[in-house]
Amino acid sequence: MNKLMRIAVDGPSGAGKSTIAKAVAKRLGIDYIDTGAMYRAIGYKMSVEGIDAGDTERLESMLKDTDIDFVRGDIILDGRVVSDVIRTPEMSRAASVCSALPAVRAKLVEIQRGMGAKKSVIMDGRDIGSNVLKDAEYKFFLTASPEERAQRRYEELVGKGEDVTFEQVLADIKERDHRDTTRKLNPLIKTEDAVEIDSTGLSIDEVTEKMIKEIR
Ligand code: DC
């Protein structure tokens, strides 16, 4: 059997991680795993079931009863496709909040490690190179200025018919950056062995090409 290739892509919200990771996965013929979508799915389930972040007992019992998987690019929560309902500003916030909870991280990191142990993958998130796949063969840290990231998110949301302003999206991005980089448990950091790519002003193709070049 060929050796597994694991590629970790970390970086702040809206840096283009998922778009780039998907493109690289396609080029290399490996699986793409969106760990942010997993935190969003848990945030979604907590909000549907009305579980408070402080209610550890209900949270832990819910997590025991939760099944998360990816099928052909869709995220499946307890047998139901939730790919679209988790992509709202409200769910971005819910995901950011629940991702600071130890019980949530423990559950999702275990599933993510299992996924990376069986096959070659490119996985994106915040703690992939620093925690989930510490021994990944390739690590990237993808950044872009807050304004450029907010502009991309804004266009995406407006395209989906969401009623938002650029200022709201920028404020949201800055708030999430703060929460994701300052939380105690596995905050977003660039590891020493990660290759940093600043995607400000670059096209999707240019960033994809840079990554593929590093890998080859
Ligand atoms: O990448 P995203 O915006 O879909 O991620 C949603 C939230 O989940 C984000 O606020 C950070 C958190 N997250 C995390 O803490 N660890 C990961 N590996 C992935 C996402």
User: In which band, very low, low, confident or very high, does the pLDDT at 204 lie, cut at 50, 70 and 90?
Assistant: very high
**Total-model pTM:** 0.93
Give yes or no for residue 44 CB within 6 A of ligand 1.
no
Axis crossing angle, helix 56-64 with helix 102-118, rounded to the nearest 10: 20
Task: Give pairs for 75-84: CB < 8 Å, separation 24+.
Answer: 75/34, 75/37, 75/38, 75/41, 77/41, 77/44, 77/45, 78/45, 82/41, 82/44, 83/37
CA of 204 to the centre of ligand 1 (A): 21
Pull the structure tokens for residue 210.
Answer: 């840079």
Question: If you average pLDDT over every residue of the chain, what do you get?
Answer: 95
Q: What average pLDDT does the segment 125-153 reach?
A: 96
Closest to 63 (Cα-Cα) out of 78, 74, 81: 78
Give yes or no for residue 186 CB within 6 A of ligand 1.
no
Give yes or no for residue 180 CB within 6 A of ligand 1.
yes
Give yes or no for residue 39 CB within 6 A of ligand 1.
yes
Q: Is the distance from CB of 123 to CB of 35 less than 8 angstroms?
A: yes
Pocket residue to mutate for ligand 1, from 99, 105, 140, 143, most atoms within 8 A of Cβ: 99
Which residue's alpha carbon is at the smallest distance from atom 1 of ligand 1?
36
Which residue's alpha carbon is at the smallest distance from atom 11 of ligand 1?
96
Confidence at residue 216, expressed as pLDDT on a 0 to 100 scale: 87
Q: What average pLDDT does the segment 7-30 reach?
A: 95
Give yes or no for residue 138 CB within 6 A of ligand 1.
no
Q: What average pLDDT does the segment 11-38 reach?
A: 96
Higher per-residue confidence, 135 vs 89: 135
User: In which band, very low, low, confident or very high, does the pLDDT at 8 lie, cut at 50, 70 and 90?
Assistant: very high
User: In which band, very low, low, confident or very high, does the pLDDT at 1 lie, cut at 50, 70 and 90?
Assistant: low
Give yes or no for residue 112 CB within 6 A of ligand 1.
no
Burial letters for 3-23: b for 16+ Cβ neighbours within 10 Å, e otherwise? Answer: eeebbbbbbbbbbbbbbbbbb
Q: What average pLDDT does the segment 37-49 reach?
A: 98
User: In which band, very low, low, confident or very high, does the pLDDT at 20 lie, cut at 50, 70 and 90?
Assistant: very high
Q: How far apart are CA 82 and CA 114, in angstroms?
A: 21
CB 112: neighbour CB atoms within 10 A?
23
Residue 89 in this model has a pLDDT that exceeds 90: no
CB 89: neighbour CB atoms within 10 A?
15
